[in-house]
Amino acid sequence: MVEFCRACGESLHAKPDLANSGLLVKWTHHAIDAMFWLVDETVRWWEIGKLSIRLKSLRRQRTSFLDQFESEESFGNEASIEQKQALVGITEELARLSSREEFVRSRCWAIAPELMFVGIFIVFLYGILVMNPVRSLLPKAGIEPGIFSGQVSRVRDLPLSMHSVVTCAEWFENKLYIGGDGGLTVVDPTTGQASAARELPDDFFVRDLVINDNSLIIAGFPGIYALENTVIKPIYRDAQLPVKLVNSLAVTGYNRLLIGTVGSGLLRGNEDSAVMVLGTQGRTIRDFGRQGNELWIMHEDGILTGRGDSFEPLNLQVLAGRHLRRMVTTDRNVFIGTDEGVVAGYRNSRNWVWTLLSAGKPGYVNDLIVSGDNLFIGSDEGVYRFSKGRMERLSSIPCQALALTSSFMAAVNPDSIMMFYFTGSAQEISGPVKVPEIGTFTPVIPVVSLLPLPGLQVGRLPDFRHLEMASSTKALTESAAATATFSPLARPHVPLPTELQRPIFSGIARAGKKFLLTTRNRGAWIYDGSDWSQIDGVPQTGAHSMARNRSNCYIYGDAAGVYQIMDNTALLMIGATATQNLLHLSADEDNSLLLLFRDGTIKQFKDGRLDDKLRIPDEFKDEFHSLWKIDGRYLVIVDKGVLLHESESQWNLVFFKGRLDNLKVVASEPGPDKNLFIALNDGRIFEYAASKLDFTGVIDDQPVSLNYEGCLWVAGRDSLYFLENKSFVTTPFHTRDMILGAFPQIDNNSLLVFTDAGVNLLSGRQ
């Protein structure tokens, strides 16, 4: 049935057709007008060209006539009437053609403002859609939530032995790729075989893996590589990537990357270059996210949000005092993994609501991944799933990286890979569910109980019963099983006296059963395991560094003098004037002191006299870290390696093995066998012994300090490690304070950990 308008009798259904045909006619007329305008504009420019040629010819003729008249007048002759008429004719023609040219040019430039506006608009639109990394930041592809909402049907365990530190994992082309200090490992789930990617540099430390269309981008130390069609090749040449310590990565578009670095902020890269993003300098970027049109950047101390090149810190009270580890974002939610649990942000119609998902476990988060309504958490306490307000524990085995594929999840730690299979929820999936098979090389093991287990089920400590007090040179034997439980006491573990409240401890040394500690604001103190006593004679501020040999301990500072500790008093050895610009002091076994100054001067204090000893070449200025005398040889630690003194004016440099770009020495510690341990800012640890510099291992944190007590202890920004069997093991101790050193107490099977805020006691129980 056709409806008609009562006023005019026209069909109402015919109006859209008329409107569409009218619009088509209108745009057709516009297209015809544009064609005619283009033809007219071409004709006008052609005419302008002919007029310009004609005008130049007439100007030359006029100039020739004027020169001829001037020449004849100089000889007393007068121009003829014909010549004057010709000059007048040329002048009139010039005026006519100039007027015509001006008119035609005015017609050509009549629509110049409109064209300029259109050009500016197009450039602006291009900048918004293409050049702005926020709008082109693509969210991670979602995975079918129904599968991972169901129950865990079985778990399989694959062996892994190529890493002591695992940083990331990703499924790519039906294989599991695992990154860590051992480079890139490829695991075939069908056979269970693991192999290393040989095309990467030997010392490549993989920090992040990102899938980009048909390629897998591999980021780490020292650069960025791409795996495509089984071929691995670098994305940037040396000169194109200004910072080689890459910590995290995100793909923002075709051949466009966001590159997070260690200590150098954020880089924005395309296919042939990478540039620094202002406002992020000096930060270690750990993760990326997107909320609306804002880019979220997580660094070691907080979160930056903004668009383009302008970022502002996100101040959240719930994050205060926590170290941020990982971040994952969805359309409405933000999940932040910290060293004290997971913090979640929910966006409602008006603002954000932030809350802590669980007050207990998981505590120390290593990885987060989202699938639909499910949040999976890999932590030191195990693998967890958070869904619909409920936190489930899938495994109590520590996990450092997670990876999801279409039907199962892989949880990776340095020793094994756990494969979790999900049956899917009955409400979302009907009928029998086929569980994929991944080989038959290992038996099916039962799912770990979801009930929380007592004690701290993360990491381990050395078996203190195997540490020999008489000889610190004996290597550690195999430690206790990972199931041994250790529990830290309430923080602060060791109470401080009233006069030592709110100190900033800066140095630690062991003297028998006592400990000498320096502070930046309370002088120097002695701790004997239960009581504190202040050392007389040390200034409250200025002298906050420490050096010792087997018999004596010395406290020193820049422009603060050098003091020898005698029982509970300090004896001034070198005055404050002589220690201006003092960088490092080391004590030799003959009780002589070696002083390294910032200008490269080395002085020796012996028998009450301070004399010039050596001088370091000027090309290493601003790279000095410390001075030592090992096995009768003088050596200076610099950012590129170890300077060995050969003769009066000759130094030989032994380079650190591997990458050298953007390296800084952060700590050094002498060992028990005339050796020296050196820590770099990228996590690598080296050992100098017998004039050789060898690679020892790497940690997944930024080192802060070293100390040797029974074994080598390495303190990161929030974790503590010890060296065992040529690999570093993470202890179950995490803190927000800077760790100064760790000392086993063998008699009571405990560990004293000194930080800049006090003393922590970690006790073990079997």
| pLDDT recorded at residue 110 | 61
Does residue 139 sit within a domain? no
Residue type, 177: Y
| pLDDT recorded at residue 491 | 44
Residue 687 to residues 66, 503, 667, 691, 695, Cα–Cα distance (Å): 92, 33, 12, 10, 6
Q: Is 142 helix (H, G, I), strand (E, B) or coil?
A: coil
DSSP 8-state secondary structure symbol assigned to residue 131: I
Does residue 106 sit within a domain? yes
Domain count of the fold of the chain: 1
d(CA 232, CA 199): 6
Residues near 161 by beta carbon (within 8 Å), at least 6 away in sequence = 194, 415
Outline where DSSP puts E strands in 125-213: 152-159, 166-172, 175-180, 183-187, 194-196, 205-212
Does residue 225 sit within a domain? no
Does residue 406 sit within a domain? no
Does residue 92 sit within a domain? yes
Low-confidence ranges of the chain (pLDDT < 50): 1-14, 133-136, 138, 425-458, 468-492, 765-766
d(CA 77, CA 71): 9
Could you count the other beta carbons within 10 Å of the beta carbon of residue 557? 23
Instruction: To the nearest 10°, report the CA torsion of 509, 490, 520, 596.
Output: 30
| pLDDT recorded at residue 384 | 92
Asked if 435 and 379 count as a contact pair (C-beta separation under 8 A), the reply is no
What the block records as the tokens of 704 is 């802060």
d(CA 390, CA 668): 46
Q: In this predicted model, what pLDDT tens digit does every residue of 198-252 receive, in sequence order? A: 888 888 999 999 998 889 999 998 889 999 988 999 998 877 888 889 999 998 8
Structural domain including 106 reads 32-72+83-110
Does residue 158 sit within a domain? no
Does residue 17 sit within a domain? no
| pLDDT recorded at residue 482 | 27
What the block records as the tokens of 108 is 């050509």
Residues near 415 by beta carbon (within 8 Å), at least 6 away in sequence = 159, 160, 161
Does residue 232 sit within a domain? no
| pLDDT recorded at residue 2 | 45
Angle between helices 15-74 and 81-108 (to 10 degrees): 150
